Amino acid sequence: MKQINLSDVNKIIKSDSTIAIGGFTINRKPIAIIKEIAKSNVENINLYTLAGALDVDLLVEKSKVKKILSAYVGYEGLGLSKLTRKAVESKKVIFEDLTEILYYLNLKAGAMGVSFIPTESIINSDIFKINSSCEKIKNWFNKKSLCGVKAINPDFCIIHAQKADKFGNISIEEPDFSEKEMAQASKVRIFSVEEISGLKPKEVTIPKEFVDYVVVTKKGAFPTGCKNYYSPDIKNILKYLDKNGK
């Protein structure tokens, strides 16, 4: 693990890459890092996130995004993202729909180092028609149909967490959103944290073996929330939405 400054992020992230983003809607999004990418020369990126919001909008707004793979882009009770919707409907950005199980299994397969994972859970879904990472396959043992979910190995993942210790172990003080699998599956892992602190073994969510860079950034998720540190700043988020005509 290497501790870096926020400004160093743009020396690491590359154009034409796939970036997985942790957090969920207006909670624990790595906004400080996203803002650095938004003002960089990086372009043509694919975003992979379970549920995006300000993180996705900031990059779409600056024309950094080629494709979004997500189950949802919006602000929960504040509504869907009109900015991202407009970019998709105008064909400036490609959108590929995910389900939560697809999101998890893509990452799980990538983390395990296998090319795909079979499942019965979405065999009767129409997701096959709109998502390129799954297809119907045959169970070799009983000849029944299964869904094969292709692995994803993002070029980078960006995750905001509450703490890291001096060794690079990460602590997320809430249920993670498959971020263990995200870190294991990704090629380069970048974390922003509120502070460096000693961690007990039971507090470690992601071990140092799956951490490449750590940026200490207080309020690094702001205006999205970070449990036990600050809540989502709804007024600030609404100000952004109003300013951008959404």
Higher pLDDT, 243 or 9: 9
CA–CA separation, 189 and 10 (whole Å): 14
- pLDDT above 70: percentage of residues in the chain: 99
Statement: residue 246 has pLDDT above 80:
no
Structure tokens that stand for 68 in this block: 């979004």
Residue in 108, 102, 29, 43 with CA at minimum distance from that of residue 70: 102
pLDDT digits (tens, 9 = 90+) for 82-106: 999 999 999 999 999 988 989 999 9
pLDDT of residue 245: 57
Mean pLDDT across the chain: 94
pLDDT tens, residue by residue, 20-60: 999 999 999 999 999 999 999 999 999 999 999 999 999 99
Nearest-angstrom CA–CA distance, 2 and 14 = 18
Q: What whole-number distance in Å separates Cα of residue 122 and Cα of residue 143?
A: 17
For 2-122, where are the alpha helices, taking DSSP H only? 31-38, 54-61, 82-89, 100-112
**Looking at the DSSP assignment, which residues form a beta bridge with residue 134?**
149
